[in-house]
Chain A
């Protein structure tokens, strides 16, 4: 039996890191799933997590957000960004895990722009449902996660899964 759902790569940080990159992603799957559970190294404030594809630093990313923080709900969006905001209310902090469940469909085709949908959660700050667009027809081979500032803390986990539609 062919496995439908494979773990392509996984990283558990043994020390703080400013970014985590999955590179040389094979085009042999249909869809990608990324699961993140992370904390920040700094005890004050909170930060956004960003996702960038294929090292493209152009203004080719946009996101639309549905978010609730326990007291107010909203929808907003960002256009022509140089990366995708991975959260709005569910930002990363030092003492509570924040979670991302990201789905990237049809990531290896070379005809269409790439869309990702994901959920961002942190019980202390809120929950987000988000969609992101990367205006590129290139197959996704590299995914970078970094922060508005500072480092992901030791113990943060990042796993990349591939799903085959066969």
Chain B
């Protein structure tokens, strides 16, 4: 029997860090894509936003987000590729954000909806959990996904990301 939930590719950032984490040449043979990641970047701050570029671009994107930081709940929106929150350089040592991004019908001919949940708990006064509804207003199949820290910073060693494919074949 064919497997329904398959790891397509996985990345662990090495000692030199990485400007981004990218999955390329994604086959169109699955129905949905899921990224599960553990992320920390080099940017100042305990909690930093990051983006996910699709097919090499950060354009044609909109999102709405809901954020909790331990004391308040806020909501905001934008026209960027922002997708979630990750640990930054001043977060408690050895803490990495948990991230899950779900993209249904990524190879279909409709615009692509994206659901993203991320959280960075680090036992400080500021910790954040984000829920994001994102849209890529393009009908092309998704063939590459790139996680990108904000403001030109990079991913720290031991950050990981795995891309899974899900088939809805009965």
Which residues of A come within 8 Å of B, CB atoms? 3-10, 35, 37, 66-73, 75, 89-90, 96-99, 101, 119, 121-127, 129, 155, 157, 159, 161
Q: How far is the CA of A80 from the CA of B4 in the complex (A)?
A: 36
Which of B63, B73, B74, B166 is the one whose CB lies under 8 Å from A123? Answer: B63
The answer to the question of B113 belonging to the interface, with a C-beta cut-off of 8 Å to chain A, is yes
Q: How far is the CA of A10 from the CA of B66 in the complex (A)?
A: 30
Which residues of B come within 8 Å of A, CB atoms? 1, 3-5, 31-32, 62-67, 73-77, 102, 104-105, 110-115, 117, 131-135, 166-170
Given contacts A4-B5, A89-B64, A127-B115, could you give 13 more A-B pairs where the C-beta distance is less than 8 Å? A5-B166, A10-B169, A69-B64, A101-B115, A121-B133, A123-B114, A123-B135, A124-B64, A126-B66, A126-B75, A157-B104, A159-B168, A161-B4
Contact in complex: B64, A68 (CB < 8 Å): yes
Q: How far is the CA of A9 from the CA of B170 in the complex (A)?
A: 6
Give the shortest distance, in Å, between A14 (CB) and chain B (any CB): 14
Which of A3, A89, A125 is the one whose CB lies under 8 Å from B4? Answer: A3
Contact in complex: B131, A127 (CB < 8 Å): yes
Contact in complex: B113, A37 (CB < 8 Å): yes
Give the chain A neighbours of B67 by CB distance below 8 A: 68
Contact in complex: B113, A122 (CB < 8 Å): yes
